[in-house]
């Protein structure tokens, strides 16, 4: 189905997530690269040797969750915008999610925005905690939102109303 719709199955999505124990320890990347394509900038972007593509640039990136600090640098470097960061260390109820967001208007810290799933369906209203847009991110800003933990595997996008 994925190859017909562009929507990964829940099983595929969960397969890319680290354990909940690791998520609860602190921020960690989730690399949703499901199909081999010739591409490896995520590996070069990571200063912690946490992402490995290897000699064949068509390999699917493998993430070392122990090395990953959730710094989010790779989010802005992935040409497919396929990477997000999740962080369950803040509280038992909430989850922090960082996603790349290349649209205007950019949300501001404290804004309420609509969280969307992988089909673009509305999931919940969520609070924006932070927006990173340094020059080094090269026009791919990274937005951090805080959501109810039950949406950990659902939220993948946001919609900002002008």
Partner 1 sequence: MKEVELLIIGGGPAGLCAALSAAESSAKVCIVERNKSLGGQLIKQTHMFFGSEKQYASIRGIDISGILLDKLNHYKDNVEILTETTVVGMYEDGVVTVLHKEDNYYKIKPKAVIVATGAFEKTLAFPNNDLPGIYGAGAVQTLMNVHGVKPGDRVLMVGAGNIGLIVSYQLQQAGVQVAAILDAAPKIGGYLVHASKIRRMGVPILTSHTVKEAIGKEFVEKAIVCQVDEKFQAIEGTEMEFDVDVICISVGLTPLNELLAMRGCQTKYVPQLSGFVPLRNENYETTIENVFTAGDATGVEEASSAMVEGYLSGLCAASKIGYTPGNFEERKKDYIKQLNDLRSGPVGKHILAGIEQIVI
Contact residues toward partner 1 (CB under 8 A) are: 2-8, 32-41, 44-45, 56-58, 77-82, 102-104, 116-121, 138-140, 156-157
User: Which two tokens mark 110?
Assistant: 């404290």
108 vs 121 by CB, closer to partner 1: 121
Residue in the structure block whose two tokens are 């804004």: 111
User: Which two tokens mark 78?
Assistant: 């992935």
Distance in angstroms (rounded) separating the CA atoms of residues 34 and 50? 18
Minimum distance, C-beta of residue 118 to partner 1, in the bound complex (Å): 5
Minimum distance, C-beta of residue 135 to partner 1, in the bound complex (Å): 13
Going by C-beta distance under 8 Å and a sequence separation of 6 or more, which residues neighbour residue 9?
1, 2
User: Residue 12: exposed, middle, or buried by beta-carbon count in 10 A (0-12, 13-18, 19+)?
Assistant: middle
76 vs 144 by CB, closer to partner 1: 76
Minimum distance, C-beta of residue 7 to partner 1, in the bound complex (Å): 6
129 vs 160 by CB, closer to partner 1: 160
35 vs 92 by CB, closer to partner 1: 35
Minimum distance, C-beta of residue 26 to partner 1, in the bound complex (Å): 25
Among 41, 73, 45, 75, residue whose Cα is nearest residue 156: 75
């Amino acid at each position: 189905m994925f190859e017909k719709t562009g929507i990964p199955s829940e099983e595929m999505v969960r397969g890319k997530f680290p354990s909940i124990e690791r998520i609860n320890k602190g921020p960690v990347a989730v690399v949703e690269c499901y199909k081999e394509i010739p591409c490896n900038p995520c590996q070069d972007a990571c200063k912690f040797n946490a992402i490995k593509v290897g000699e064949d640039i068509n390999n699917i990136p493998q993430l070392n969750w122990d090395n990953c600090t959730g710094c989010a640098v790779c989010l802005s470097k992935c040409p497919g915008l396929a990477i997000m960061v999740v962080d369950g260390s803040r509280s038992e109820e909430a989850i922090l999610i960082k996603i790349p967001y290349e649209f205007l208007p950019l949300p501001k810290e404290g804004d309420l925005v609509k969280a969307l799933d992988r089909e673009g369906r509305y999931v919940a209203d969520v609070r924006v905690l932070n927006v990173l847009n340094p020059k080094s991110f090269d026009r791919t800003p990274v937005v951090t939102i805080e959501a109810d933990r039950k949406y950990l595997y659902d939220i993948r996008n946001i919609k900002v109303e002008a």
